[in-house]
Amino acid sequence: MEQGKYYIFTYGCQMNVHESEKLAGILEDRGYTKAGTPEEADVLVYNTCCIREGAEQRAMGNIGNAKPLKKNKPNLIVAVCGCMPQQKNVEATLKQKFPFINIFGANNVEFFGEYLDVFLKQRKYQNKILQDQDYQSNDKKIKIVRDNPYCAYVNITYGCNNFCTYCIVPYVRGRERSRPASDIFNEVKQLVEVGHYKIITLLGQNVNSYGNDLTEDKTTFPQLLEKLSKIEGDFQLRFMSSHPKDFSDELIEVIANNPKVCKAVHLPVQSGSNHVLKLMNRNYTREKYLDIIKKLKAKVKDLSISTDIIVGFVGETEEDFEDTVKLLQEVQFSNAYIFIYSKRKGTVAEKMEGHLPLEIKRNRIHKLLEIQKKYTNNHFLSLVGSTQHFVLVEEERPMHYIGKTQCGKVVKIKKNKTLCLGNFANIKITDYSGGNLYGEVE
Ligand code: SAH
Ligand code: SF4
Ligand code: F3S
């Protein structure tokens, strides 16, 4: 029975992108269909993020835009889900600012269907902010409406136990919970059997600590990768994010030797200074990080490494910042996501002494972005002449095909009869110019 249409705004990380696919499943199970624009929708869902102030401001601005929509369509249901309302007192603030919000969902999407059902029956404001005991790790029953026909996300852990001092995630996503390996195996197997899902991305805030909390069928992350790679079919396993403190030699071996495991590693370093890493509670040193990189580079052929960096953390001195610059120069990442430190309420860093003025943070980020630009460019240039394996052919254009390399770089591929949409190809990179990679079938 057609109930009406839904529109979902998604902010934040891959975890949220995937959760929006589950929210869509919950809505479609109840007879809603996808709207092309927010104006057409009968249910508007904001799946929010609060990792930095900017993410919150973007969501706030868009929630504000729902006011005139609600005026035109008084029965419009407005739901705010995701990480933002899980913060202390934020639900009350949002409700005061936007009294038209009908439902505050929560971070475990399972609950969203429940709230929606009650709201539809009673038309009464629904909210539930989760406590630790409410978090679950078993989402087998939820229908997932996947966005991408070739790439599928699969959760392996939820939540986070690391409490990096700058980070809000452990407060809004609860403690780390691993899904049973057999559930993950079955989900990946079903996806591979569908035939068109070629890239399976395993999701967790720290995939390397997968399994630490399992009591039955104990499995480590490298063991999980090995198990999943035994599934028959033409697919690749990717994963994110990795935490350096738990990045084992065993994992390096699996990346190096298992052809189904992607050769692009995202390994957030956050800072190159031991002083700052300690203040951040990252539990590794610059030396340990560089040691992992050295081993990876030695063992994995055609490896690309990307990272996340925070500049202007509380107490970061000019020398600390220079240590980060030097680390960037030493590792030469293929890509780095660089952020200005953003103060988050309730975190340990919020109360630390020595917050830096915005101007210093801005100067530092500009300097770092400028340096990284050179390495990103060098990485592109280094690909010319190489053969890239597992390039996924995603789109056909009049003059060429569009493919993506294992590390997510777009390649314009010369037309060739053997190329097939949604399949992997081995592509020889012939040129890099005007910001584009060009290639042809090997
Ligand atoms: N669990 C993952 C991802 C966490 S969020 C991991 O640990 O790698 C993604 C990135 O956002 C982090 O790696 C960090 O670089 C950045 N980040 C998190 N909190 C931040 C804050 N308060 N200010 C600025 N950047 C932040
Ligand atoms: Fe945040 Fe650290 Fe957990 Fe990543 S590992 S989500 S940065 S607390
Ligand atoms: Fe944002 Fe929550 Fe992800 S705060 S980065 S959506 S875990």
Tens digits of residue pLDDT in 117-138: 888 888 877 776 666 656 665 5
pLDDT given for residue 113 in this prediction: 87
* Nearest Cα residue to atom 1 of ligand 2: 167
Å from CA of 51 to ligand 1 middle = 7
Q: Is the CB of 279 under 6 A from ligand 3?
A: no
pLDDT of residue 1: 62
CATH of domain 144-382: 3.80.30.20
Q: What is the pLDDT of residue 131?
A: 67
Rounded to the nearest whole angstrom, what is the distance from the C-alpha of residue 170 to the centroid of ligand 2? 7
Residue with the nearest Cα to atom 2 of ligand 1? 205
The closest alpha carbon to 19, from 79, 102, 101, belongs to: 79
pTM exceeds 0.85, yes or no: yes
- For residue 170, the ligand closest to its alpha carbon is 2
Q: Give me the pLDDT at residue 136, please.
A: 61
Consecutive 10-residue runs of the chain (442 residues): their mean pLDDT? 90 95 94 96 96 95 94 94 90 92 81 86 76 61 91 95 97 92 96 96 96 94 98 96 96 97 96 98 98 97 95 98 98 97 97 97 98 96 95 94 93 94 96 94 92
Instruction: Kindly identify the ligand whose nearest atom is closest to the C-alpha of 52.
Output: 1
With a 6 Å cutoff on the Cβ, whether 339 touches ligand 1 is yes
- The domain ranges of the chain are 4-134, 144-382, 387-441
Number of the ligand closest to the Cα of 280: 2
Mutate-to-test residue for ligand 3 from 83, 155, 161, 344, highest number of ligand atoms within 8 A of CB: 83
Domains 144-382 and 387-441 alike in fold = no
CA 352–ligand 2 middle distance (angstroms): 18
CATH of domain 387-441: 2.40.50.140
The CATH number of 4-134, from 3.40.50.12160, 3.40.640.10, 3.30.450.20, 4.10.91.20, is 3.40.50.12160
CA 116 to ligand 3 center in whole angstroms: 23
Q: Is the CB of 283 under 6 A from ligand 1?
A: no
In ligand 1, the atom with minimum distance to the C-alpha of 206 is: 1
Q: What is the pLDDT of residue 140?
A: 58
Q: Is 240 in the pocket of ligand 3 (CB under 6 A)?
A: no
pLDDT of residue 132: 64
